[in-house]
A and B are shown apart, each in its own frame.
Chain A
Amino acid sequence: MAEKQYDWSAIAKNPKFIELHHKKSAFLFGWWIFSSVYYFLLPIGAAFAPGLFKIKVIGVINFGYVFALSQFFVSWGLALYYAHVANKDFDRLTRELVDELHA
């Protein structure tokens, strides 16, 4: 299996890689923490702030239902946002880096 040999630690020090790595880490872990906090607000809120969940928002539909539903839209929104950023920034940086290495 012929495989191109890479100097991995040199690539790891490549400014392009460092840029990619910083951008990606900040984005991924930042939004991961956000989504976890947002999710755990649901069971925590339902248990400790039931009064809030009972407040009617539209007709008989209450805040609790809207909040649970919002979890879906927040998750979808985050997924689309991530796809957008990854396709635009991360993939471009990766491509530039790989092109540079293969040049």
Chain B
Amino acid sequence: MTLSVATAAFAEEPKKDSAAPGAAPVAAAPAVTAAAPQTAAPAAAPAPAAPVKKKELKANKAITLSLFAVIIGITMGVVVWAARQTKSAADFYAAGGGITGTQNGWAIAGDYMSAASFLGISGMISLYGYDGFMYSVGWLVAYITVLLIVAEPCRNAGKYTLGDILSFRTDPKPVRAVAALSTVAVSTFYLTAQMVGAGKLMALLVGVTYKQSVIGVGVLMVGYVVFGGMTATTWVQIIKAGLLMSGAFLLSFLVMMKAGFNPLGFFDMIVNNPDIQDHVSKMVLKDGITLAGAEAGQRFLEPALFMKSPLDQISLGMALVLGTAGMPHILMRFFTVPTAQAARKSVIIAMFIIGAFYVLTTLLGFGAAINLTPQGIIAVDPGGNMATLMLAQQLGADISPILGDIFLAFLCSVAFATILAVVSGLVLAASAAIAHDIYVNVIKNGHADQHEQVTAARITSFVVGAVGIVIGIAAEKQNVAHLVALAFAVASSGNLPVVVLSLFWRKFNTAGVISGLVVGTVASIGLVMVSPNMTYPKVVAAGAQKVITAMEKKQAALPPGAQLDEKDAKALEKAKADYEKNKDGKSIMGLDAPLLKLKNPGIISIPLGFLAAILGCLAFPNRRSEEMFDEVYVRQNTGLGMAKAIDH
């Protein structure tokens, strides 16, 4: 199994990456039974002999729903307040430029730390140790690029959207149109992935149906954005970041308390834990390596239990480090602060919050491995996504039973707030691209009064949100994990090269923007479509065929007349159905097997994006664009002429 952004970023979807080929996602079903049938070997097929502690993760519905109600109540209050402040387009898209650096820092952190990183990364650490931690590093380092290269110039050069930055010294209409398309594509990929994950997670935690949870999350998200615009969205993100950090600190404190506040002792506990040792030795045995005892425990702290393909890992790193700076909803956050200094301050604050959070995930992940055992975590969810929640429940219950329920409910509500914050930011970014770039600037040539602009913004937000809900429901049974990889691929290969060149290269012009955006976007989408992220029916059929052969062999070995036991019979039946369904199929692109081994195309598509942008400019030089570079460059460095940008 190689690592993709999708794997962990989408890890809140239980069972997704680890399910048997072709198995329908079973996340919506109470996950308790997940350990049972199928050939679904998650990490290392947990041998039935392992002391699997059957654990049930059941949130106390009354407490959980009360906490949800509190969060909804508080944020609704913010929406009502924000709605009164929202009169102009600048209010709607950029909170009137009136967010402080500190507030924006918290909001960036809230926007960025999705339920996937919150549940998925600590889960990965709890099952794969060091590799899970290594994975989280890129998410913080990505902000160095944001801080050094894009934050301040964007604040000084832009107004509300990516299109604003790119259209400054180019032919605005085509550039805005292409930039808007790219923004909508990135936001939709990311939004769909979040909506499907949200639906499954909420269904699991609160015990409602998938559809109900998608609609519930969707309606709230539309409400926040349509009525409260950027002001409400920002505050939802701040509240969420505060809750998330409190939860992470509290849990880490409890984990360390159990370890006697001795970090070295804590690591000794990992190495000497017999369950972890057993888990690791089964994992490495698949590679033909035998390890036992402390040696196996030590292996948990070393790389390569999860990441097997270095090239994919490096490619993923590139997509993360460069894609974050090209994410439209991240760029958009820099228009909410009044000055470049505030933009700088906000990134630095965000970096401390995000970094602290990812450091804490090691305590949560390793703490979960020690306290719950990897086997126990897999028994509830093979992807490990429930590890943090289980840990909260257990550590709370160690103090008093009711406290376990309260901690679990608290973390569930953090996950809920997290989803709301992330999806609201995405809806806002997509609707800004449609309403501000396409409607106001392309269709209306920039001639729209404030009232009309705000109305357009509200209508598009409503439509984008509604479409998000519909896609979310439609995609329930789809494997949407690749969509996160796609979002980062397009942002890093399409958006980032043109933003950087537009800010820093004199010769950059319209042809460069369009060729860079189009080639970067098409290349990254195309490469993902032929990558192992897609489903290849022939591969699924081959997997099913193996199960059939194994089961038939088993049947043949039985004494005449005897039948397979119920579990094996079911597996055989399912494999046969899977085989029939898939044996003649081809992937969406009509392929039998992936053309490309890489799950993350960044290492190919990012250079392509840059190259296309540069070649486009060299092929079609434009004097006016070159002459205007001085203005762009002086503006972005000094903030001169910015009065216009925040004028409202």
Contacts and interface: CB of A to CB of B under 8 A. Distances in A.
Contacts of A83: 344-345, 348
A11 B140 contact: no
Given A40-B314, A46-B307, A83-B348, A8 B138 contact: no
Contacts of B351: 75-76, 79
A24 B347 CA distance: 18
Contacts of B145: 32, 36
Nearest to B320: A39
A50 B304 contact: yes
Nearest to B294: A60
B143 A75 contact: yes
Nearest to A31: B148
Contact of B144 (A6, A20, A32, A43): A32
A interface, over-half SS: helix
Interface residues of B, number: 54
Contacts of B345: 83
Given A1-B644, A32-B145, A59-B268, A72 B134 contact: no
Given A28-B149, A60-B298, A79-B347, A11 B303 contact: no
Interface residues of A, number: 54
Contacts, number: 160
A20 B140 CA distance: 28
Contacts of B141: 35, 39, 71, 75
B647 A1 contact: yes
B314 A68 contact: no
Given A17-B634, A39-B138, A50 B303 contact: yes
B301 A46 contact: no
B310 interface: yes
Interface in B136-169: 137-138, 140-141, 143-145, 147-149
A5 to B, nearest CB: 9
Contacts of A12: 630, 633-634
Nearest to A38: B141
B511 to A, nearest CB: 23
A64 B644 CA distance: 50
B289 interface: no
Interface stretch (B59-67, B414-422, B635-643): B635-643
Nearest to B129: A65
A65 B133 contact: yes
A36 B352 CA distance: 18
B348 A79 contact: yes
Contacts of B359: 69, 72
B168 to A, nearest CB: 12
A94 B639 contact: yes
Interface of B: 130, 133-134, 137-138, 140-141, 143-145, 147-149, 264, 267-268, 270-271, 298, 301-304, 307, 310, 313-314, 317, 321, 341, 344-345, 347-348, 351-352, 355, 358-359, 627-628, 630-631, 633-635, 637-641, 643-644, 647
6 contacts: A31-B144, A36-B145, A43-B307, A53-B303, A59-B267, A72-B355
